[in-house]
Structure 1
């Protein structure tokens, strides 16, 4: 049986915010580092997949660098990102998100 919460006064469906449901905001993280380098990797942060795709169209991956892509759903108590999905290549990362059915 399918049920839904309805506000009796207005006969409208209530939002998940009022019911107590969580809305998860995701952050896209990209770490880029030159191979065999002792330097710390550069980390870029994006709020949407469209922004990340725009960057990859303008600046494609190169063979002289290593990359790490992560989808974060927030941080824990030690301020470490909680990775929902992660991959070493952009196309692999996008496919992983699509297969998981994550709504972004």
Structure 2
């Protein structure tokens, strides 16, 4: 669309996904009311959407794994692509 952001998902099941995203973000918005959050449920490559959105963002936040079959911290493919291609600063947060 003209806004530069990807088109949102349509109706039906995608409306349910958008509603669930809003529900997941609600406690974080309450905890940090001064932080502007732009939520979107879109179809396609998460990395590409995050890199595209970085052009309009003050900060991009992505995660990294702290557990799994290999010892030690590591980042996934989405985080790696965002780190390499984001035009905004990137914060990598451990989760896990």
TM-score between the two structures when normalised by the length of structure 2 = 0.22
Q: RCO higher in 1 or 2 (8 Å CA, sep ≥ 6)? A: 2
* Structure number with larger C-alpha Rg: 1
The structure richer in helix per residue is 2
User: Greater share of strand residues, 1 or 2?
Assistant: 1
TM-score by length of 1: 0.21
